Structures are given as structure tokens and as C-alpha cells.
Amino acid sequence: MRAIGQDGFGGPEVLKVVEVERPRPGPAEVLVRVHAAGVNPTDSWHRASGGLAGAVVRLGWDVSGVVEAVGPGVTTLAPGDEVFGLPRHPLPAGTYAEYVTSPARHLVRKPAGLTHVQAAALPLAGLTAWQALTDVADVRPGARVLVHAAAGGVGHLAVQIAKARGAHVIGTARAAKHDFLRGLGADELVDYTGTDFETAVAPVDVVLDTIGGAYGPRSLRTLRPGGTVVSLASPAEASLADQARPLGLNAAFMIVEADQGGMREIAALAAAGALVPTIDTVLPLEHAAKAHELADGRRTTGKIVLSVTD
């Protein structure tokens, strides 16, 4: 089968099409014929440095496709089922390929109203937003939620998830993206290029920080007593908790995990039309390097997706 590989670390140019053996599903696994694979910032990080493990891995975690075969013991899925999910994360999955194996319970059935491209845009970014807002921050109706980089891959889904949970949502983004975010339900918007969000935003209950650096400490200043900053930026942001605690605030760094329960919630929201991924660019598998060039530029609105099977 065709897949995307790399011989070493570096820029997008290290990515190339390779021929590899088609995998076989093991116990409790399924083989998925990949129709589309999402592109995420963590893919670029692993391409350039190997991530936390510092090792070359086959890239890609988001997947949408059709079950081709099932391994021993699988009872939840059958050949022919259309599925999507986040196999194995944070361990390597290798969804930039024509076929991929996955634990059966890391996948859920794709809503009929979603294309494979749309479905492939949801798992990693959608689960990240879901786990941050529900499992970590426990967002409830009436909460005030600030989402940084609200037009990005995680951000635009976080806006919709927070709204679905009854929150008042504030987003930071360039002015050119404000109309887009209002269309997703954002209640307030801050142009970070010309406005200091610390002074522009009234106290909030939750901040979702997708940027890191100074944004974490600055976001603490926007919180109500007992409020929470959830950082997605880097393990170094774990020290934010030490800054938050003496102030009567909370801070946490999280890494998204494969989560069938969360995927079912995302599928239900998508089926109801309450969670709609915005697709910035769709490229064929062999143009993975171009997809990474676009992703590295950090100017996309929504998600980049690789189309593997037309």
C-alpha cells in the first residue's frame, strides 16, 4: 500500500510517498481502508523532532474510512462499517496511508451526514476540545469561556462545543475571522493584534489556551476566583499550575487521549448539526508535504485534510 514516510527529521520536504506492507488487524483490532486523514500541529512536531519520543514515526492520527477486516474478538464493528476516530493516540497510528489498523474501540460509526473529509477533521481537534472543556474544566450552562486562537483547528470546534454546553463564548482571533466565528456562535470577539485581551475581557470561568508561552500567565488574569486555564501548548506549561494555586485559581496541561466515549459525544453533536468542522484545504495523500507547509504557516481557518480514497 501507499503511505507517507520520512527518513529523518526536518521540514515538510522530508515527507515522501513510500510502499509498505498492508497491516493486518490483531486481536480486538480492525483494518480500515482510509478515505481521509486529518492534519494536525502534532504531526508537524513529530515530523520535525520526533515529538516526546524523539523517534521517526509514521505520521497521522485522524482517520475516516471503511472497515475492511476485523481481528479476533471484535464485536462492535464489521466489514463495511463507515467509521472515524483517533487510533492509539498518543502512540503512533500512521493514518497517512491507504490502510491502517486500530483498536476497534478507538473508533465510532461515522454519521451519515458527514463526508469522510469532514469526519477526518474532527477526531484529534474535536476530542481535544471536548476533553479540555468537559473532562478538565467541567463547562456548564452559563459559564463564561475564553478560547484563544478561536478560528484554528481546535479553537473553532471548541467554540461550538462550549456553545452546545450552554456557555457564553469569547474568542481571540484576527478581525478578518470575526464574522466566521460569529457564524459559529461566538458571543464576543477580541482582535489580539490590536487589543489586549486581559483588559478587554470581563472575568471568565474557563480559558482554553492553544498558544502557550505568555498566554498562560496572562490568561490567569482574566479568571474569576476558582476559574481554570487549560493549556494545550507544551509540557512546560504544567508549571502554570504553580502560578495559579496561590491565586485561588486552577491550571492544567493536557494531552488528548483516544476516547470512544468522547468520540460518541462528538458524533452525536455532528449528527445534530451542532458541531461542523470547517475545512480549509483538501489535498491528495501524495501532497502531504504541501499540507505540512500550509499547516506550519499557522494561517489556516479550520482544518487541513488529506484525501486518500476518492
Identify each DSSP E strand in 162-249 by its residue range: 168-172, 188-190, 204-209, 223-231
Q: What are the pLDDT tens digits along the chain (310 aa)?
A: 999 999 999 999 999 999 999 999 999 999 999 999 999 999 999 999 998 888 999 999 999 999 999 999 999 999 999 999 999 999 999 999 999 999 999 999 999 999 999 999 999 999 999 999 999 999 999 999 999 999 999 999 999 999 999 999 999 999 999 999 999 999 999 999 999 999 999 999 999 999 988 899 999 999 999 999 999 986 655 689 999 999 999 999 999 999 999 999 999 999 999 999 999 999 999 999 999 999 998 778 899 999 998 6
Check residue 229 and give its pLDDT.
Answer: 96
Q: What is the pTM of this model?
A: 0.96
Check residue 53 and give its pLDDT.
Answer: 83
3-state secondary structure 75-121: CCCCCCCEEEECCCCCCCCCCCECEEEEEHHHEEECCCCCCHHHHHC
Check residue 235 and give its pLDDT.
Answer: 61
Residue 212: strand, helix, or coil: coil
Check residue 167 and give its pLDDT.
Answer: 98
Q: How far is CA 251 from the centre of its chain?
A: 20
Q: Spell out the residues 6+ positions from residue 226 whose beta carbon is closer than 8 angstroms to its own.
A: 205, 248, 249, 250
Q: Between the CA of residue 162 and those of 59, 88, 145, 155, 208, what are the distances in Å?
A: 29, 26, 7, 10, 11
Q: Which helix (H) or strand (E) holds 250?
A: strand 250-253
| Contact criterion met (CB below 8 Å) for 144 and 204 | yes
Check residue 237 and give its pLDDT.
Answer: 57
Distance (Å, whole) CA 105 – CA 89: 13
Give the amino acid at 217: P
Check the CA dihedral 94-97-101-104 and report its sign: positive
Q: Which domains does the chain have, with CATH numbers?
A: 2-122+277-307 (3.90.180.10), 125-253 (3.40.50.720)
| Contact criterion met (CB below 8 Å) for 294 and 281 | yes
